[in-house]
Amino acid sequence: MDELKNCKICPRNCGTNRYVSKGYCGAGDKIRINLWQKHFGEEPVISGSKGSGTVFFSNCNLNCVYCQNYQISQEGWGDDFSNEEVLEIFNKLEASDIHNLNLVTPTHFTSQLQPVLKNFKTKSKLPIVWNTNSYEKVESLKKMENLVDIYLADLKYFESSNSKKYSFATDYFDYASKAILEMYRQVGNLRIDENGIAQRGLLIRLLVLPNNSNRIDKILNWIYMNFGKNIYLSVMAQYYPAFKANKFEEINRGIFKDEYEGILQLIEEYNFKNVFIQEVEQSPEWTPNFRKN
């Protein structure tokens, strides 16, 4: 069955015929991309010295009010490409000498990317990174087994009241928690080679919001109970108010140093062993310059 005729690839289950109109995510039947480049802004085990070959897909199945990539995720900046053209982009990135192929927010293009990645993997051993908001369905993720090597997975919220308020997804944690368990089943814990570059496994990302508005304390407890102390975590301090964040007083600022250090103290109490951290900076330097149509 052609999934795009009655799209239920992600938890939105919108049932849209994407050949005729756009789904909840804003995407149609073609893969839409804004930017592809060598990228050095990921964790050191992803970016390394040569950079991560990063493809920024347009549109998104979440509607985060604070999205720092809102021009492409919410406003849909980008161009449509055929599967053959996407494969050519992947090949060009590989030829530029990169550590991995990094697919940013690819969930809503799962159906189209599956054959592209199958084709790419016949000639390449480059690790494939699935850089996801984790609002995924297990059955869709299973189609990526043996195609994706590294899952770079956000875990954005624990409480449904927060995911509803900030991302219009009451069921976010229910789906994301099951999705991350599936990712771990597929690839296990992160494995890093002798040069310090990730080759396979799961890395969970936690974006610290002001006032602990996404309850990272509860998220950390769930992670510890399900994966133990050796799971790889990335605790991100790069939040700044973007898009519609100014409509929500509690998140309409950058995070304070003591807020971030409070999360790090919790991590120390759980005795997590493999954690990437950032400096607290009140600036938008992490966001690429996206190309307007």
Asked whether the beta carbons of 32 and 80 are under 8 A apart, the reply is yes
- Rounded to whole angstroms, the Cα distance separating 232 from 183 reads 13
pLDDT tens for 201-215 read 999 999 999 999 999
89-101 tens-digit pLDDT: 999 999 999 999 9
The pLDDT of residue 1: 52
Q: What is the pLDDT of residue 230?
A: 98
Residue 256: both structure tokens together: 């304070």
- The CB-based long-range contact list for 214-218 (8 Å cut-off, 24+ gap) reads 214/156, 214/157, 214/158, 214/162, 214/166, 215/157, 215/158, 215/159, 215/162, 216/158, 216/263, 216/266, 217/263, 217/266, 218/158, 218/159
**Beta partners for residue 150, in sequence order:** 129, 201
- Non-local (6+) Cβ contacts of 39 within 8 A are 47, 51, 52, 53, 54, 102, 288
Could you give the C-alpha distances from 246 to 2, 214, 249, 287, in angstroms and in order? 41, 17, 7, 18
Report pLDDT digits (tens) over 163-200: 999 999 999 999 999 999 999 999 999 999 999 999 99
Overall fold of domain 26-277: TIM Barrel (3.20.20)
Looking at residue 32, what is its pLDDT? 98
Q: How far apart are CA 157 and CA 162, in angstroms?
A: 7
Q: Is the pLDDT of residue 281 over 90?
A: no
pLDDT of residue 138: 98
Return the percentage of the chain with pLDDT > 70, whole number: 97
> Does the global pTM surpass 0.75?
yes
3-state helix, strand, coil in the chain (%, to 5): 35, 20, 45
Q: Assess whether pLDDT exceeds 90 at residue 289.
A: no
* pLDDT(284) > 90: no
Please tell me the distance from the alpha carbon of residue 223 to that of residue 155, in angstroms, as a whole number. Answer: 10
Instruction: Say whether pLDDT at 277 is over 80.
Output: yes
Model confidence at 290, pLDDT cuts 50, 70, 90, reads: confident
Contacts of 75 (CB under 8 A, 6+ apart): none
Name the amino acid, one letter, at 200: R
229-275 confidence digits (pLDDT tens): 999 999 999 999 999 999 999 999 999 999 999 999 999 999 999 99
Nearest residue to 9 (alpha-carbon basis) of 117, 103, 131, 136: 136
Q: Which of 109-113, 118-122, 166-170, 289-293 has the lowest mean pLDDT?
A: 289-293
Q: What is the pLDDT of residue 292?
A: 75
pLDDT per residue as tens digits for the range 20-79? 999 999 999 999 999 999 999 999 999 999 999 999 999 999 999 999 999 999 999 999
> Does the pLDDT at position 283 exceed 70?
no
* Domain boundaries along the sequence of the chain: 26-277
pLDDT value of position 291: 75
Check residue 76 and give its pLDDT.
95
